[in-house]
Amino acid sequence: MTKKSYLLLTLLILVLIAVAAQFTPGLSQKAEINPPSTVYNRVVGDTSRIESPCSNEHPEWRQAQVIEGVEIAASPLCEPDNPYDVAASVKGVNNISMATLMQSNFAQDAVIMGDDLDHDGDPDVIHIKLEVVEFNGSSPDGDFLMNTYNIAPGIQPGIWVFAPKSSGMAVKNFNSREARPFLRAPSPTIRVEQGDKVYITLENTHYLPHTIHLHGVDHAFMTPKGEDNDGMEMHPVFPGKSHTYEIQPRHVGTMLYHCHVQTAQHMMMGLGGIFVIEENQPNNWVQTFNIGAGQVRHPSVGVKKAYSQEYDLLYQSIDKKLASTIQSAIDPRLIAKDMGRVYNITESFENYFLINGHSFPYTLRDSMIVVSENENIKLRIANLQRSQVAIHFHGHKATTTAMDGVDLPAGAQVTRDVFDIATAQRIDVALNTTNDGLHSYSSGLWMFHDHVLTGTTTDGIEPGGNMNLLAYKGFLDEHGMPKMHDELFGEVFDKDYYAKKQPLWQQSKFAAAFGDVGLISPDIKKLVIFGLLIGFIIALLIAIRMIYKRRRQP
């Protein structure tokens, strides 16, 4: 073969390659007349990933009741607070029967109430003990999370909380990895009375150092013994150690407490809660702990004078990257490094948005505000998110009565429907349910949520985040769940929905219109041409080699 024919053959091969390139099959392909049909990811009737909206475990906890002489308001929610915990929080574990203590979850020294210093009928020396609890942490015993706590169906980010000192198992039972219900996010609201001598002991049950900083609460810089009383970064309480902060607050209001070690990370991990100082009143037994925040089932004397109900609303957010630092390693050195030096909060995002420790739809189980018409309800709203919140109530305009624990004079109180609250700020809000076209537009199931647009999503999936309902009583079913929501419940009480595997509106007639798109069948004609061309190119190369070899043979 001549040089010229080699050149021609090479040229032919190049042309063939160029032609074949036009027919290259790929992983995706343009549709012809009809795009692929809708596919369903789940076998019809498979409910293994779907949860019951309300398991209705303790219907007897809902009604108004008196335990140990403590009046406990009704809480018609699906998951009401344990009334025995409320009774123990009001009386102190030292003033209740063993039977009540056993029904509550407190340790025998969690809340001790002592002398009535001002002789007005309520105890004024209070000893509070807090532990640090980790949820959804790692285990060397297997590829699973321990003390699991779901913020939404199937969502288990690493979380830390301050928890009242408890006794017994931290999981539901020996065979379970699920945290017992008493142990939950957020860190509980703590309530004391103005002038009380309060001893707050942090018993650090965690594997990293922590402190308690009483943000906005009247406290001396040092304890009488000359030790740290501000919970500062330079005085960490190390694992296995305890430290007692002492206060006798003179000023009343809604304040905070939070860990001040590696503050940015530890607060975002969940180590912060609401701290309320109630006005000093005679016979004022305040509910020391409001586990899970939400409704205060035993409001203080001062609050009851002006309001029919009281709610603590704590907003917090989670960065899934930060939360995963306690899940990707077991060694505390690795965790400390990963959280403290590898993770960079200045390059972070918020992915999960919680109100009272839950994201929608779990917020509907234990955190709705349940009202009747013509009520005046006190809300204490605190923002412990990294970012600002803009809390919006549908159908209502409420009035701020205090900011950061300082009462506003009548002229400075603002009635509005979006409340912007910067990080660590608190507002006290009077929510009036009088149907007058201003305070309330009508009864109903009114949504309330952070109107910053990320706030109603769970890792970007809507509806989620801190979405919650202001529910008028007639709109709740016998389990305390909102009516008119059945179709939505089928969609959102689904682990696959928040795992981003299920499209929305699949319970409606529009299921096919918004379902997932199936695969497209490959274009066989193009495939055959491509295959033949490639085969031919290979054949040409082999032929050239064969001819070359033949020529060289003698």
Which residues of the chain form contacts with other proteins (CB under 8 A)? 25-38, 512-513, 517-522, 524, 527-528, 530-540, 542-543, 546
- Do the Cβ atoms of 370 and 471 come closer than 8 Å? yes
Residue (9 or 117) nearer to other proteins, CB: 9
Residue (18 or 234) nearer to other proteins, CB: 18
Please give the distance of CA 189 from its chain centroid, rounded to a whole number: 16
Q: Give me the phi and psi of 193, to 5 degrees please.
A: -100, 145
Residue (1 or 422) nearer to other proteins, CB: 1
Residue (412 or 528) nearer to other proteins, CB: 528
Q: Which strand (E) or helix (H) includes residue 364?
A: helix 363-366
Least gap, CB of 27 to other proteins (angstroms): 6
Q: Is the link from the previous residue into 463 a cis peptide, with omega within 30 of 0?
A: yes
Residue (394 or 526) nearer to other proteins, CB: 526
Q: β-strand 125-135 against 159-164: which pairing, if any?
A: antiparallel
Residue (64 or 528) nearer to other proteins, CB: 528
Least gap, CB of 532 to other proteins (angstroms): 4
Q: Give the per-residue SS3 of 438-450.
A: CCECCCCEEEEEE
Residue (31 or 234) nearer to other proteins, CB: 31
Could you tell me which residues are beta bridge partners of residue 243? 202
Least gap, CB of 5 to other proteins (angstroms): 14
Cβ-defined contacts of 510-519 (< 8 Å, 24+): 511/38, 512/38, 513/38, 515/38, 515/39, 515/40, 516/38, 516/39, 516/40, 516/41, 517/35, 517/36, 517/38, 517/39, 518/36, 518/37, 518/38, 518/39, 519/36, 519/39
Q: Output the six-digit token pair for 467.
A: 């979405």
Task: Tell me which DSSP letter residue 50 carries.
Answer: B
Nearest CA to 405 out of 254, 241, 546 is that of 254
Inter-CA distances, 95 with 67, 112, 147, 348, Å: 12, 8, 31, 47
Q: What does the buried/exposed string (b/e) look like for 74-91 if buried means 16 or more CB atoms within 10 Å of the residue's CB? A: bbbbbbbbbbbbbbbbbb
Q: Output the six-digit token pair for 140.
A: 């060397």
Determine the Cα–Cα distance for residues 428 and 423; give it in Å rounded to an integer: 15
Least gap, CB of 501 to other proteins (angstroms): 16
Least gap, CB of 506 to other proteins (angstroms): 15
Least gap, CB of 525 to other proteins (angstroms): 11
Least gap, CB of 545 to other proteins (angstroms): 11
Least gap, CB of 550 to other proteins (angstroms): 8
Residue (305 or 510) nearer to other proteins, CB: 510
409, HSE (Cβ side, Cα atoms, 13 Å): 1
Nearest CA to 351 out of 464, 261, 451, 259 is that of 464
Determine the Cα–Cα distance for residues 428 and 276; give it in Å rounded to an integer: 11
324, HSE (Cβ side, Cα atoms, 13 Å): 11
Least gap, CB of 341 to other proteins (angstroms): 40
- Which residues fall within 8 angstroms of residue 432, CB to CB, at 6 or more apart? 375, 376, 377, 396, 398, 399, 439, 440
Least gap, CB of 508 to other proteins (angstroms): 12
Least gap, CB of 460 to other proteins (angstroms): 22
Least gap, CB of 29 to other proteins (angstroms): 5
Determine the Cα–Cα distance for residues 313 and 430; give it in Å rounded to an integer: 13
Least gap, CB of 484 to other proteins (angstroms): 20
Q: DSSP 3-state assignment of 47? A: coil
Could you tell me which residues are beta bridge partners of residue 275? 190, 255
Q: Which strand (E) or helix (H) includes residue 161?
A: strand 159-164
Residue (240 or 531) nearer to other proteins, CB: 531
Residue (23 or 475) nearer to other proteins, CB: 23
Residue (37 or 434) nearer to other proteins, CB: 37
Residue (474 or 535) nearer to other proteins, CB: 535
Residue (422 or 538) nearer to other proteins, CB: 538
